[in-house]
Structure 1
Amino acid sequence: MPQSHLTAEFEATAELLRALGHPVRLQILHAVRERPLAVGEIEEATGIGQPGLSQQLSVLRKAELVLSQRNGKQVFYQVDGARMAEIAQTLTALGGGVGGAAPPSAPSQGAAPQGGAARFARVFR
């Protein structure tokens, strides 16, 4: 694979991780993970007011993390499950494991606990 293509791929992955790495956007994704919600319902569930909610939904749409559907005057949002599965595969590949397992050469002492794909965002203090 040409270096310029790899660089573009790494930049796209970094942009995606930036979109996921914001607490307000994670809160929105959590709210719309099980079923589509209208913007007003998201606002009620999260306490995030306008225009902040619209701004964060725009970032999530651009990163293709949510699906949107207009029904009359309302727009409904839901997590894009297929996209999240792709992200989980990318994170697994970065970890060098198959199915979320740590690679055999991974150090066992001082390493962060192993977990699912969402564990990458955990902050240890």
Structure 2
Amino acid sequence: MIDRDFDASAEVLRAIAHPVRLQILCAIKDEPHAVSEIEEMTGIAQPGLSQQLAILRKADLVSTRRDGKKIYYRVDSDQMLGASDLLDALAGSTDQRRRDRQTARKHSGGGAATFARILGRSGN
């Protein structure tokens, strides 16, 4: 059996598996940002933002640095940086699948109408 800390891995996955936390991680993946900047970038208001950042800190996905009154957050895990690339790729493929479905619907002429036409033809 692989020697891993499955509880720690599950905690990281739980932290990542929330849309708001994913949004925060994407906002700070390239460079550190102050809480006020993260709030502006994401539109997530206080105190919800602080609550989500605390969860990310507890999962060791981000670290902080204080500069005067400002606290800067940055992604603090090589693991998370790799996961971020994967998430970007998945988001892109999800967007592409969504566009493909929309295109297919436009060209199908409507699912119910198509189904009714098929039933009408097979009954003859």
Quick check: TM above 0.5? yes
Aligned length: 93
Q: Secondary structure at the match of 2:8?
A: helix
Structure 1 equivalent of residue 107 of structure 2: none
Identity of aligned residues (%): 55
Q: Distance in 1 between matches of 2:14 and 2:39?
A: 22
TM-score, normalised to structure 1, is 0.62
1:18 pairs, out of 14, 20, 23, with: 14
Q: Which runs of 5+ in 2 are unaligned?
A: 99-124
Structure 1 equivalent of residue 46 of structure 2: 50
- 4+ runs deviating over 3 angstroms: 119-125
Q: Distance in 2 between matches of 1:35 and 1:10?
A: 29
When you count helix as a share of all residues, which structure comes out higher? 2
Larger radius of gyration: 2
Structure 2 equivalent of residue 62 of structure 1: 58
Q: Does the CA contact (< 8 Å) of 1:64 and 1:83 recur in 2?
A: no
State whether structure 2 residue 78 is matched by structure 1 residue 82.
Answer: yes
State whether structure 2 residue 86 is matched by structure 1 residue 117.
Answer: yes
